[in-house]
Chain A
């Protein structure tokens, strides 16, 4: 099984949702602004429940926001979930 990591389109989704702030998104799913920042930066993989809540807020399927992708050689491999 190859190396994989969880990438997300949270920044794009927030932009499309009228520049929703990290604090606002965090408040709606019950986490802190810093946790949203960590998710966006790929430093933290959210729980399944938080991921579904995020998808629900943006009214998108989960796989459109979170992508389970192959890590290319030379890319950052730190965040395999």
Chain B
């Protein structure tokens, strides 16, 4: 399995699990203090950084030899990123242009995080699918 595919899988699993936990906590806790909201988001981000950083370091040691990313890796990355970018733009238009008229600050913040989470999950999910199914031809 190419290192880029392994990396995409690690990203995908980490993003799904951490953001699922984060949004479950947001829904479960409901309205709370700003400090609690910041702590929940910080914990999520720190867990992501630790898991992805550790996995990257392990993979870098294992794959010392061989090209880091070849032309197929780059095409897959470009196509997945293009789709994720469109999703992110749609999410940000919703968050930045529509939600400020009807929603409070923390709802807007959570919607922005959700947009980023969906874009990241779609990007890495597409990358894994393209490596497996060969939609990159």
Which interface class (under 10, 10 to 19, 20 to 34, 35 or more) fits A? 20 to 34
Main SS at interface, chain B: loop
User: Could you say which residues of chain A place their CB within 8 Å of the CB of B66?
Assistant: 27, 32-33
User: Could you say which residues of chain B place their CB within 8 Å of the CB of A50?
Assistant: 71
Digitize A53-81: 1 where CB-to-B-CB distance is under 8 Å, 0 elsewhere: 00000000000000000000000001101
Main SS at interface, chain A: loop
Interface residues of B, CB < 8 Å — how many? Answer: 14
Q: How far is the CA of A50 from the CA of B5 in the complex (A)?
A: 21
Closest residue on chain A to residue B68 by CB atoms: A32
User: Could you say which residues of chain A place their CB within 8 Å of the CB of B70?
Assistant: 26, 30-32, 35
Taking Cβ atoms with an 8 Å cutoff, the residues of A that contact B are 26-27, 30-35, 38, 41-47, 50, 78-79, 81
